Amino acid sequence: MSDTKVFVAGHRGMVGSAICRELTARGFESPITRSRDKLDLTDQAAVQAFFQKTKPDAVYLAAAMVGGIHANDTYPADFIFENLIIQCNVINAAFLAGVKRLLFLGSSCIYPKFADQPIKEESLLTGLLEPTNEPYAIAKIAGIKLCESYNRQYSRSHGVDFRSVMPTNLYGPGDNYHPENAHVIPALIRRFHEAKVSKLNTLSVWGSGNPRREFLHVDDLARACVHIMSLDRSALKDLSSPRSQHINIGYGSDVSIKELAELIATTVGYHGHIQFDTSRPDGTPQKLLDSSRINALSWKPEVELKEGLRLTYENFLDSLTHETGARSD
């Protein structure tokens, strides 16, 4: 295990950094990493040269352009282009360099907006997507199908074993806390914290508060990713089909955005009124994954939401310390 050369693409992001921590905890030697200024993953020639030089044994593809509803709706061209080109470059370069095992990180937004709940892997491509993040979702679907296609064409001849996981909504250390471009948990943590510091009596939250979302701590996802990569191919084959090879990774239960906002307000210590702005989009009504495949592979989440939010708020306060030199709470 310690002599396995692992490349983590996107190691500075929330998911990539969590995977690096988990690999280290499991005794792997330091993962191969490259920051964007050292390796531009949108540069095909540079990516192929990197793979030919480093020859990793395994790859975790966690590099991606990500964001919440506002960011997805504002920058659709960036989201589809950046993610498509990164995926194509890394997956094809890995194949050309003889990499046998790769894990592609997708997103639960790949599923139809009105998919039956909880969402099974087989629901992919059975209905229309949520419009606000459709370009990002299409890019991620392409990544899944790219991995499946390499497996179908090159599994026997080249030993290719490219895997895909679809995590639910993530949160935890290393997240982006921008109040508009971030995902819902980090965005609300920042806004509630600033409302507390400013002593605001009322804080407005986008949407009705009715949609339900499932949330998974990023350290749980990292444990699941490394676990899946450690499994023999036969263990996965029994749970999938050639055209449905991806694996959902979820917490197993969901909460409404209203419940989430109230829980974050309590965690942060904000005691004002929470107002829901129904003129803003809600997104998908519910998005709860069926995680029976990953559960059948002997994995369960460990971090409960309330405790995870407490730890995440501590991480946010630490990030403020780095920004300003002192906490503002």
For residue 203, report the phi and psi dihedrals to the nearest 5 degrees: -130, 130
Provide the pLDDT confidence category of residue 328 given band limits of 50, 70 and 90.
very low
Average pLDDT of the chain is 92
SS (H, E, C) 151-178: HHHHHHHHCCEEEEEEECEEECCCCCCC
pLDDT at 322 over 70: no
Residues 231 and 270: their CA atoms lie apart, in Å, by 44
The dihedral over CA atoms of 70, 76, 78, 79, expressed in degrees to the nearest 10, equals 80
What pTM value is reported for the model? 0.92
What mean pLDDT do residues 207-222 have?
Answer: 96
Residues 173 and 315: their CA atoms lie apart, in Å, by 6
pLDDT at 179 over 70: no
What's the token pair of residue 113?
A: 């907006």
What are the residues whose beta carbons fall under 8 Å from the beta carbon of 177, sequence distance 6 or more? Answer: 186, 187, 189, 190, 316, 319
What mean pLDDT do residues 277-305 have?
Answer: 93
CATH fold of 6-175+214-253+288-303 reads: Rossmann fold (3.40.50)
pLDDT at 323: 61
Write the pLDDT tens digit of every residue in 143-175: 999 999 999 999 999 999 999 999 999 999 988
Write the pLDDT tens digit of every residue in 86-139: 999 999 999 999 999 999 999 998 999 899 999 999 999 999 998 888 999 999
pLDDT at 237: 83
Percentage of the chain lying above the pLDDT 70 cut: 96
Residues 14 and 103: their CA atoms lie apart, in Å, by 16
What's the token pair of residue 93?
A: 């370069």
What mean pLDDT do residues 173-182 have?
Answer: 79
Handedness of CA 10, 11, 16, 22 (dihedral sign): positive
Of 322 and 163, the structure prediction assigns the larger pLDDT to 163
Tell me which residues are annotated as active site.
Answer: 136
The answer to whether 67 and 79 have CB atoms below 8 angstroms apart is: yes
Locus of tokens 């087989």? 122
pLDDT at 10 over 50: yes
pLDDT at 52: 98
Percentage of the chain lying above the pLDDT 90 cut: 80
